[in-house]
Structure 1
């Protein structure tokens, strides 16, 4: 919704694609490299040979990353102060609706 409201019509689809790549693509790639090593660090094998993962610590990592992202967003993101200029329809000017004359 923000991308549609801020970007002009000619670059809107590119902006939406970049937004989706960052949200849905980059995070998954980073997580696939980061979390296997994190899980191995947080897994302990007990005396009985059963491996136990410390899920509290495991889930605190992405929580901390999300909080850091929120702080960065609050500090550095400045939305535009005015809306983009209204776009002219491709069909030309819109005529005012008038009642039909019999």
Structure 2
């Protein structure tokens, strides 16, 4: 698999994970195995997206700046990403609560809440398919 395909598999797994979290609760107890599959998909998401992203940073930087680039990537993903992600999650949660009427079943909230990251990951998947190069910089310069 190329790294583009692996990144796209990771994004697709993330979209599937959010879809399961969004819609499986509607099935009641019968949806619990689907929710557990969604939890298990985290490993595929991590392996095919986050881990490959670290490899991309490693492959696309020269040796003299590689460690600095990895540290910057860590800062963005683990540091700033958590702060910004928490703010976005709070906004999405507040938005989802406004979409659910008083007295609705609880799963209406989860459907609204998890549909946003599902659609966001599908959008990122399409953008990656359209704009991300298929090979590494070294492969492209050799052809």
TM range (shorter): 0.5 to 0.7
> SS of the counterpart of 1:10?
coil
Greater relative CO, 1 or 2 (CA 8 Å, sep 6+)? 2
For residues 69 and 23 of structure 1, do their structure 2 counterparts lie closer, same or farther at Cα, with a shift above 3 Å needed? farther
Q: How do residues 41-60 of structure 1 correspond to structure 2 at under 5 angstroms? A: 41-43=95-97, 44=100, 46-47=102-103, 52=106, 54-60=109-115
83, 87, 104: which one aligns with 1:29: 83
Structure number with greater Rg is 1
How many residue pairs were aligned? 82
Give the aligned partner of residue 139 of structure 2. Answer: 82
Give the aligned partner of residue 20 of structure 1. Answer: 74
| TM-score scaled by length of structure 1 | 0.58
**Higher normalized strand content (fraction of residues):** 1
- RMSD over aligned CA atoms reads 3.0
What is the CA-CA distance between 1:9 and the residue it aligns to?
0.7
> SS of the counterpart of 2:120?
helix
Moved over 6 A (4+): none
Give the aligned partner of residue 97 of structure 1. Answer: none
Structure 2 gap ranges (5+):
1-54
What is the CA-CA distance between 1:45 and the residue it aligns to?
6.0
| TM-score scaled by length of structure 2 | 0.44
